[in-house]
Structure 1
Amino acid sequence: MPTALPLSQQVVLITGASRGLGACLAHAFLAQGARVVVNYLNSTDAAEALAAQAPERALAIQADVRDPVAVKAMFTTAKAHFGMPVTTLINNALPDFSFNGDARPTPDTLTWENLDQQLQGVARGALNTIQAALPGMREQGGGRIINIGTNLFQNPVVPYHDYTAAKAALLSLTRTLSNDLGPDGITVNMLSGGLLRTTDASAATPEAVFDLIAANTPLRRVTTPEEFADAALFFASPWSRAVTGQNLVVDGGLVKN
């Protein structure tokens, strides 16, 4: 049925897919035979190099997710290129951010501009992509929306106020949208990781922080981007057809959800 397409028959659009976790997500879906739209903002060379690894099934498209016109054009291009609408949308794009606790805004220095920058990229970006995806998903009788969150709003081991607030807003959208879109056969879920070893965003994280998290995690190690991407395959697959409005924490058991 349209709401449970095998991964090999899907068109998966991943925002912020040229580097880091986004690239791992793209590789995971390509390995399953899916067609993948590699969205990027600035990393043209990395996005095109990734798409070149599977030229018949991958397409790199530049678009700022904060711009609804550019986002709509991206979905139109993807549909024309692959001959069918996007079946799975993964909102992974991260506004310019570095997980460096020493450089983070503190309660005394945090500004609304810090918060707004994250809300624009995370919440507004997801709103734009979801609205652009809906016509195609409704046309084919269903779809999958997977939002990338964080375990930091449950366990702020490092209190990144701006980043965490934006991801918490995205969780709220995940839950409310699942209610509205369920009758259309569209599931909306969130995957929340902790610190991943290692992405571009976590490259500035001191080794002592990695060690601390590993020591307090049941698996005694820090989750990798590849392990995190495995869970995205589940939410996009037929196996999750009755799962929506959920937040699955993928962090080796550090946070119990």
Structure 2
Amino acid sequence: MGKEIAIITLHGMGDYKPNYYEELKSKLVKALDTDWQKVAFEPVQYQPILQNNQNDIWQRMNRFPLDGSILRRFLLFGFSDAGSLEYSARSNVSDQYIKVQKEIMQALDKVYIELGGNDKPVIIIAQSLGCQVISNYIWDAKKGSGIFNGLYSDASDQLKSFRRLESCVHLLTTGCNIPMFVGGLAPIEAIQKPNDAFTWYNYFDRDDVLGWPLSPLSDSYNALVIDHEINAGGIFSSWNPWSHGKYWTDKDVIKPLIKKIRSYIIA
């Protein structure tokens, strides 16, 4: 059975879990049933690019008797992800930034083949830091910067278009911390739509201190992003910061996503 739509996922910050997408995928497989065969699913794995250095630093720091090791480890592995990528993006030594963008491009190349070499619809699902990562990718695709600045240009025009996400119909972000990256910028500008059909739904929980609404950021964000406040997680997590990791199993995220996927699957 031919694939009719592609789903790309991006993980968030912190300690790397290679199977970060499994719970989400399991729910989609169950809900879509036989229609799952029409979906090309590809997770982006960018954290390994950063984690070896973080492991080394953590081991060196453990030579000292430091309190709060759990929180310290979370902050090191989480916020150094963000800091390293943003520094890399704005410096002459942009190796890490380009490597992360290359992971996204390679995931797109894989689903492009599964879609039969056609520019069929793409849905992107991003969590936490992954929201900033994919926003940067779309920004660079429009501006011809980053990985699109003359790199990897040996492809057909249709594949180049697909890599620029010109067939991406929906971006779903959860626990998004873009405000933490743009808070010092003026003016604050949202990405441009990669195509006219593109929509962006952002889900946040008011108890999640790492997840933010986006529409208040600026007029351009307000015009582009539809924010949805939800109560992510269960009895032990929905009322506290642990809700940050519970979006992808929450019915208020899953049900609209399934409806969106079905709308693009050809019966």
TM-score, length of structure 2 as denominator length: 0.40
Instruction: Please say which structure displays the higher CA radius of gyration.
Output: 2
